[in-house]
Structure 1
Amino acid sequence: MCQCVTRRRTFTLLAALAILPVAGCFEGDRSGPVEIHWDRDTGELCQMMISDARFVAQIRGGPKRKAYKFDDIGCAVNWLNEKPWAGDAETEIWVAEVTSTRENVIWLNARDAFYVTGEMTPMNYGFSALRHGRSGSIDFVAMTNKILTNTPNHICVPAKSGS
């Protein structure tokens, strides 16, 4: 085999290895919701598959600004309530507008959205998000308080490891 072919392969391999650490720095935008892989992604709290675009939610926060996915805003509220960084100003909470489809998820800042009850949601918390308020709708703070004070407030309690 020609030495120039071996050198070329060695150079290509070394160049690829040199790029790998740098590529890890560009994991995409660290704000906003991420793509949902329907019927494959699972909710962070209950580990149920995410299937219904009308009720999906995401939280982005924590030390690494990671995006966490949920099948129901109620799961997102309960899960976030347990995190030490829940009150950080940088913590983002996103919820799908109830008219969303898998092909077109309309993401709303959950803190700015309005909520109504009456729909059967994946984990039965019963809150649907709207861009604009209407008769009978409540704001994020009221919705969160209802979820956290409703007994039991966890529809799905995750299994504890080591028990």
Structure 2
Amino acid sequence: MLTPLAAALSGCTDDKWPEGMKSIIWDRDTCVRCNMAISDRRFAAELRGGPKDTVFKFDDPGCLVFWLEEKRERFPWMDDASTRLWVADYNSKSRDEMVWHDPRQVRYVTRTSPMGYNYAAASEAGTDSLSYDEMRQQTLAKGK
């Protein structure tokens, strides 16, 4: 027989997260690049890969872009097909109803973001939206 606490915890699953994605503990997990708490769900991102299937979490798509640029030589596996990336859809309804995208396959809109890179992934983006490559080039050109 399960104790009440064990029974409550046994119902906890990561079913709201895409397969392979590690859950983000909002306001507690920190960005691997800037060390800021990941609080604003609209800008969260994650990378998982490498020989140890390591997870890296980000509070802003710009932090993901810079981290990928800065760590490419150290972690050559980032370009492997087995490396998985996710970015939150800015228009997700709530923390319990998040929509996640491959950051390289979604469009980006200008929105004030936690670290001031000011791009958000949005599946419902207008004609003024940017591709990942355009957003990446503009983010790297800004610097930080």
* Alignment TM class, shorter chain as reference: 0.7 to 0.9
SS of 2:77 mapped into structure 1: coil
Q: Deviations over 1:124-144 (max 9, x none)?
A: 100011114422001111111
Rg larger in structure: 1
Q: Verify: 1:123 aligned to 2:115, yes or no.
A: yes
Letter in 2 for 1:42: T
C-alpha separation in 2, matches of 1:147 and 1:132: 21
- The residue aligned with 1:3 is none
* 8 Å CA contact retained: 1:113, 1:132: no
SS of 1:54 mapped into structure 2: helix
Gaps spanning 5+ residues in structure 1: where?
1-30, 155-163
Equivalenced residues, count = 121
Q: Deviations over 1:23-57 (max 9, x none)?
A: xxxxxxxx632211011100000111010111101
Using structure 2 for the length normalisation, give the TM-score. 0.77
- The residue aligned with 1:99 is 91
Structure 1 residue 79 displacement after superposition: 0.6
Question: RMSD of aligned C-alpha atoms?
Answer: 1.5
- The residue aligned with 1:60 is 48
Letter in 2 for 1:144: R
Gaps spanning 5+ residues in structure 2: where?
1-18
C-alpha separation in 2, matches of 1:139 and 1:32: 24
Q: Percent identity?
A: 42
Segments of 4+ moved more than 6 angstroms: none
SS of 2:55 mapped into structure 1: strand
SS of 2:64 mapped into structure 1: helix
Q: Verify: 1:87 aligned to 2:79, yes or no.
A: yes
Letter in 2 for 1:32: G
C-alpha separation in 1, matches of 2:52 and 2:81: 14
